[in-house]
Structure 1
Amino acid sequence: MTRSNGGSAPSFSVIGDGIIITGNIESKVDLHIDGEVIGDVKCLSLVQGPSSKIMGAIVAQNASLSGAVEGSIDAGDLNIASTARIGGDVTYETVTIEQGGHVDGKFKHRSSKSPNLAKSTVNAREIAAPLELTDGDKAA
């Protein structure tokens, strides 16, 4: 299903609940997945519904993930919802993780402005853990 913005080109495509696609998907428009994809997904912008599953790599400029993902993710602006369950490494420019969102993999920040800067790798559990200050860390 595609939706049009009034022009001749559709603005996004939908893979509905109950649909299973086996194979890679490459889209030049936004993609909304409520079904299941067994393969890699490459698109401009991805919205994943909470009951959907993607078993493959995701590459998107923007991604809002709410369901299950088994595979790596490479996204500029990434939003991980509280219902998301991700098993794979994540490369991002900006990331938001709602409380309850689960990622089992490594996070790697990439900067589009400064590609020569050192990349940092952070464990997802370290991001979710609250920061605790000791008396030596507190400002006087």
Structure 2
Amino acid sequence: MFSKSKINEPGPKASETETPAAPVTSSATIPPADFKSSAPKSKPAPSILSSDLTIKGNLKTTGDIQIEGQVEGDIRAHLLTVGETATVKGEVIADDVVVNGRIVGRVRGLKVRLTSTARVEGDIIHKTIAIESGAHFEGSVQRQDNPLDVNGGKSKAAAADKAD
């Protein structure tokens, strides 16, 4: 069924000892570019901001972020995990938000989870929320069908009236 090819064996080949010829290619060999494109797409690893890192500025990604350090700015991500030692000062917008540390600012998420070590000072706009016993929260909670809509669900007509 399978046979060993002499193309990959070390030493001179019969065709090389006589005259130089065009390179020998095998139909079984797949170039690296083709191999990568046929490989299944894997989910990229989350971006991790370590505990000794301080960022002043906004972060935006379609992937996942795990914060262990300090961030002063707005964050937009698919999954945001705020570690126990982390502090975020700014608005957070993500599909999934897991808070183990501290957030000072508005939180918007389809699923928001405050663990027992969480400290949130600001409003939470969510589709579903879970708050564990021991979590510290100061602010208001509002349920919306689309909490990621930063316009607050206002219609385009209302926005057009306001523009006039």
* TM-score using structure 1 length: 0.73
Other structure's SS at 2:93 match: strand
Distance 1:16 1:69 in 2: 16
More strand by share: 1
Any gaps of 5 or more consecutive residues in structure 2?
Answer: 1-39, 147-164
Distance 1:29 1:88 in 2: 24
Q: Please say if 1:33 is aligned against 2:60.
A: no
Aligned partner of 2:80 among 15, 32, 46: 46
1:94 offset after TM fit, Å? 0.5
Distance 2:89 2:145 in 1: 27
CA RMSD of aligned residues (A): 1.5
Distance 1:8 1:79, change over 3 A: closer
What is the aligned partner in structure 1 of residue 24 from structure 2? Answer: none
What is the aligned partner in structure 1 of residue 99 from structure 2? Answer: 65
Distance 1:12 1:24 in 2: 17
Q: Please say if 1:97 is aligned against 2:124.
A: no
Aligned partner of 1:85 among 100, 106, 119: 119
**Identity value in percent:** 28
What is the aligned partner in structure 2 of residue 74 from structure 1? Answer: 108
| Pair member with larger Rg | 2
Q: Which one-letter code corresponds to 1:40 in the other structure?
A: D
Other structure's SS at 1:54 match: strand
Q: Please say if 1:106 is aligned against 2:135.
A: no
After the TM superposition, which of the residue ranges 6-15 and 66-75 deviates more from structure 2? 6-15
What is the aligned partner in structure 2 of residue 131 from structure 1? Answer: none
Q: Which one-letter code corresponds to 1:19 in the other structure?
A: L
Any gaps of 5 or more consecutive residues in structure 1?
Answer: 1-5, 113-140
Distance 1:94 1:21, change over 3 A: same
Report the number of matched residues. Answer: 107
Distance 1:9 1:66 in 2: 24
Distance 2:116 2:42 in 1: 36
Per-residue deviation, residues 37-66 of structure 1 (Å, max 9, x unmatched): 000010011011001000000000001001
